[in-house]
Amino acid sequence: MMYKLIVFLPLIGFLFAGLFGSKFSDRISQLVTAGLVTVSAVLSWMAFADVALGGNQYTVLVLEWVSSGALSFDWAFKIDTLTVVMLVVVNSVSALVHWYSFGYMEDDPSKPRFFGYLSLFTFAMLMLVTSDNLVQMFFGWEGVGLASYLLIGYYYKKPSANAAAIKAFVVNRVGDFGFSLGIFGAFALFGSVMFDDIFASADQYADYYINFLGTDFHAITVICILLFVGAMGKSAQLGLHTWLPDAMEGPTPVSALIHAATMVTAGVFLVARFSPVFEMSPTALAVVTIIGATTAFFAATVGLVQNDIKRVIAYSTCSQLGYMFFALGVSAYGAAIFHLFTHAFFKALLFLGSGAVIHAMHHEQDMRNYGGLAKKIPFTFAMMTIGTIALTGFPGTAGFYSKDMILEAAYASHAFGAQYAFVLGIAAAFMTSFYSWRLAHLTFFNGECRADEHTASHAHEAPWIMRLPLVILAVGALFAGVVFADMFVGEGRFAFWNGALVTSVGDVLDEAHHVPFAVKAAPFVVMLLGFIFATVMYYKVTDIPERMAKTWDGLYAFLLNKWYFDELFNFIFIRPAFWLGRVFWKKGDEATIDGFGPNGVSHAIAFVAARARKLQTGYVYHYAFAMIIGLSLAITWFMVTGSSH
């Protein structure tokens, strides 16, 4: 019963806010939705203790669902350690976002709608992470896509918000198409969509091939890559990443929920869940490694020059997801999920902290208009600093334990692309430190506040309802690493994972603990260098960035325009699609279908009717004359036909 409550309480909150929100006060809807998600979060921690620490596993049947020929599956919850980790992450962050939104959305006129969407988002993600079959996972997968569309486009009267919501929805459809093909392929190969059945029979199909267009392809590799395409869309990996920065158009609490706990972690969860199958395909793992490492590097380079405070953190999320994926690619599954776990705390802290800054600055998001805010909002400054040191991997913080383990695992691994991932991971760690401290200096130091006098003079701390979630997240950002490191990547990880992930990951993580000291020290060194460079450029000699931008203007424009991916996709896909759509519209629909169809028929009828109307004059002698003509023609006809006989 506890697991059903965990999943369905947020759904009840959504239904209450959606159906009855207008019948009660806004506060009632807020309290109901936030309260139910909080109860779900508390129960999730209880489940964590029961499963992860107690070594238990469950399958919880909700109802019998589909039975059609060979296709048969139920709606059931697969409760193992991987599941309860995700339950804790999703519900804990969601509960804090709900309470934080009490203050942030105080002036919003549609609070029931907003809180209902948040609860719907939470429920959809819970459906995804508790699934025990691919179809149920796809249901949750599409649910978070829908909820993200609603929340990103929450300010629907704002054209840029509508465009961002559509962009997120369309880009994710590309990934979802790959995911759906992967589901079809898995059923065709394994004869089932149930996880346990697929994992149990994976060894039997290790050497199976499928023929496509006259070429044989390794079946499991094809399925894994198709599933990974779906993961790329949800988790914003290179090529399908363009929706993520634009998702900032939604309210800041939405950004925290999307980037820390829900949508973007779905792809990481999918690959981790399917680790027994991915282990059968070194090629698929190599693809995951290369894409993940390249994404980590790419997003970090773009984060160096962004000026919107939320976009800097958004590209940071994209980069950190790259770390998680190349950890999965080198079979360091425990390290990947550990980083997902710790990242949820410090990334939610950074997003909600940036929301407090935006709230203080009357919704100004450009860091070039900040400065000197450490004196005006010292509490927010302290919370953002904790999030920053955790993100950059300062020793002792959560990010230090998880990110460093990923880098050490990549160095220790002998898999294809592992050394490539290590090198780009170290480079990304340096840039992460630089852009994080750049954000800190531009926002909290760097002279006096550069906003207009009214905004600067009225800058103030957020209300307590927004500050309390920051404190809780700060505790997690500081201590989640040291408390849970052994469970995820230490000697106790086998019991912790409880068979949910393949035991061969132990080899990689064991070797990771014994890499040379220089490898262990490298992340700290580049983190320190990033801090020094940012401090010199944005605190000491503040004209350096402008001079560098002018000197390397081409590189600066390249990074500022995000490697021109949007422009490239616009040229290759969007403009041709619009051209093709316009051709079908004007030539196909209007000229052909309408022209020869409804419009053509109606035009012909109107033409005939117009001519026929001229015969209806209303004069008796006209009608008598027509009758005489008709009678004459009839007599002539009978005479002609009669004479022929």
Q: Give yes or no for a contact between 164 and 153, defined as CB atoms under 8 angstroms apart.
A: yes
**Which pLDDT belongs to residue 506?**
47
The residue length of the chain stands at 645
Inform me whether the pLDDT recorded for 185 exceeds 80. Answer: yes
**Which pLDDT belongs to residue 644?**
53
Alpha-carbon gap, residue 304 to 139, rounded angstroms: 37
**Which pLDDT belongs to residue 502?**
42
Inform me whether the pLDDT recorded for 139 exceeds 80. Answer: yes
Inform me whether the pLDDT recorded for 265 exceeds 50. Answer: yes
Residues 6+ apart with CB under 8 A from 617: none
Mean residue pLDDT of the chain comes to 87
Other beta carbons within 10 Å of 183? 21
Place 254 in a pLDDT band, splitting at 50, 70 and 90. Answer: confident
Torsion-angle region of 153 (φ positive above 0: left; ψ -120 to 50: alpha; else: beta): alpha
pLDDT mean over 445-451? 75
Residues 6+ apart with CB under 8 A from 562: 242, 245, 302
325 vs 68: which has the higher pLDDT: 325
Instruction: Dump pLDDT digits (tens) for 468-494.
Output: 999 999 999 999 999 988 888 887 665
Alpha-carbon gap, residue 584 to 587, rounded angstroms: 6
Inform me whether the pLDDT recorded for 269 exceeds 90. Answer: yes
**Which pLDDT belongs to residue 491?**
72
**Which pLDDT belongs to residue 488?**
86
Alpha-carbon distance values, 366 to 213, 251, 308, 357, 452 (Å): 52, 15, 5, 11, 13
Alpha-carbon gap, residue 408 to 48, rounded angstroms: 27
**Which pLDDT belongs to residue 382?**
94
Instruction: Dump pLDDT digits (tens) for 534-589.
Output: 999 988 888 888 888 888 989 989 998 889 888 888 888 888 888 888 888 777 77
Residue type, 318: C
Place 261 in a pLDDT band, splitting at 50, 70 and 90. Answer: low
* Stretch among 93-107, 115-129, 420-434, 593-607 having the lowest mean pLDDT: 593-607
Inform me whether the pLDDT recorded for 532 exceeds 90. Answer: yes
Place 367 in a pLDDT band, splitting at 50, 70 and 90. Answer: confident
Instruction: Dump pLDDT digits (tens) for 504-528.
Output: 444 788 888 889 999 999 999 999 9
Bridge partners, 133 (sequence order): 194
**Which pLDDT belongs to residue 476?**
93
- Supply the pTM of this predicted model: 0.87
pLDDT mean over 337-357? 92
**Which pLDDT belongs to residue 398?**
93
1 vs 534: which has the higher pLDDT: 534
Inform me whether the pLDDT recorded for 37 exceeds 80. Answer: yes
Alpha helix segments (H runs only) across 105-213: 111-129, 134-152, 159-190, 195-201
pLDDT mean over 450-477? 86
Torsion-angle region of 191 (φ positive above 0: left; ψ -120 to 50: alpha; else: beta): left
pLDDT mean over 81-96? 93
Inform me whether the pLDDT recorded for 457 exceeds 80. Answer: no
Inform me whether the pLDDT recorded for 503 exceeds 70. Answer: no
Q: Which two tokens stand for residue 236?
A: 């914003």
Place 248 in a pLDDT band, splitting at 50, 70 and 90. Answer: confident
Inform me whether the pLDDT recorded for 643 exceeds 60. Answer: no
